Homo-oligomer: A and B are copies of this chain.
Amino acid sequence: MVSIKDIASAAGVSISTVSYALNGSDRITKETADRIQSIADELGYVPNRAARMLKKRETMLVGVFLTDFSGNFYGDLLFGLKEELNRRDYDLIVCSGRRSHRMIPERTFDGAIILDATFADAELLGYADRGHKLVVLDRELDHPNVNQVLLDNKAGATLAVEHLLGRGLRRICAIGGPESAYDARQRMRAVRQAVERVPEASLAELPGAFDKASGYDAGPRIAEAAREGQVGVFCLNDEMAIGLCDYLRTRTTLKIGRDVHVVGYDNIELAQYMQPRLATIDYSKRKWGALAAEQLLKMIEGRPVEQERIYVRLVEGQSVGQSGL
């Protein structure tokens, strides 16, 4: 592999001169710089990332950690992140799985973005204590080296439940997320509040784990409830809503949007292809990513960071109809 040293001897200059030249320092005259540059090109020189990382103590790399790569959800987010990071000359690297966590303390990145349930809060705080810059997207952490872009979970869940209530539904079910998930807790809290505001409304909470199977598994209980009258179901994310619809369609004769009214959360791509179209809560994942990147870069560069928040809106769909009541 050709190194700076090879260029130096080819050009008959010292390695420091080569380094300065290649990095566009004004300590070197334009002519020698050009000459060195063209020799470098000719030799096909590419700097060694490891060496540069080691010496400069910066990597120009940002890591994004995801719970998994299933990516129903991640495409737009990553797009937003990447655009913003590339604009500032950082590269984006996507990782998943416990094993990869250690890349953080190994100083593989200048900063990391976390949307990964396999990190415990304490673990993240530990990294932050060691000086690593973090932006967390799936929790809230109070630490000078940690920032977050908050999703307006409360507003979203409220919107969803009030949509059902607004259609005249009074018997509300909510399928929850894992106890450990911050999003799930926030959303469920808002659900309770929204239901409580309507005296004649009732709420049944069903457990869930944010995956299709949870929605499917909640099916029987929903179906049972629906046989005693229309029911509005808020699934705390779209995956579960899709699982539920799957159950209702294949295992019951109940009609979605008439007997059972379903609303999800996230507006994943699949939601718009469901029949009937899934009502859900939408927000700009791309913007979410862009803001996260911006925050992280600010932290890295030591500029002040302001708290950001992503707003949500309701997307109507035929999975919610008009109640007969």
Which A residues have a C-beta under 8 Å from some C-beta of B? 1, 44, 46-51, 53-54, 59, 68-72, 74-75, 78-79, 82, 86, 91-97, 99-100, 102-103, 105-108, 130-131, 242, 269-270, 273-275
**Is the beta-carbon distance between B69 and A96 smaller than 8 angstroms?**
no
Measured CB to CB, the nearest residue on chain B to A51 is B54
Q: B residues within 8 A CB of A108?
A: 49
> Contact at A79–B71, with CB atoms within 8 Å?
no
Query: In the complex, A118→B97 CA distance in Å?
Result: 27
A49→B59 CA distance, assembly (Å): 11
Q: Which of A50, A53, A74, A79 has the most CB of B within 10 A?
A: A50
B93 lies within 8 A of A93 (CB): yes
Chain B residues whose CB sits within 8 angstroms of the CB of A74 once the complex forms: 69, 71
Check A96 against B71 for contact (C-beta < 8 Å): no
- Nearest-neighbour CB distance to chain B for A267, whole angstroms, equals 14
Chain B: which residue is nearest A246 at the CB level?
A: B273
CB distance from A72 to the nearest CB of B (A): 7
B59 adjacent to A82 (CB under 8 Å): no
Smallest CB-CB separation from A82: which chain B residue? B97
Pair B275/A44 contact, Cβ less than 8 Å? no
CA distance A72 to B74 in the complex (A): 10
A251 to chain B minimum Cβ distance, whole angstroms, is 16
Chain B residues closer than 8 Å to A1, beta-carbon distance: 107, 130-131
A108, B50: Cα distance in complex, Å: 7
> For A68, what are the chain B residues with a Cβ–Cβ distance below 8 Å?
75, 79
- Closest-by-CB residue of B relative to A78 is B69
Contact: A69 with B79, CB < 8 Å? yes
Contact of A103 among B49, B69, B75, B99 (CB under 8 A): B49
Q: Which of B47, B100, B269 contacts A106 (CB 8 A)?
A: B47
Known contacts: A86-B97, A275-B275. The answer to whether A102 contacts B46 by CB under 8 A is yes
In the complex, chain B residues whose CB is within 8 Å of the CB of A53: 49-50, 53
CB-based contact A106/B270 at 8 Å: no
Min distance, Cβ A50 to any Cβ of chain B, angstroms: 4
Q: Are A99 and B75 in contact (CB under 8 A)?
A: no
> Do B72 and A269 touch across chains, with their CB atoms under 8 A apart?
yes
Chain B residues contacting A75 (CB-CB under 8 Å) are 68-72
CB atoms of A48 and B106 under 8 A apart: yes
**What is the minimal beta-carbon distance from A263 to any residue of chain B, in angstroms?**
17
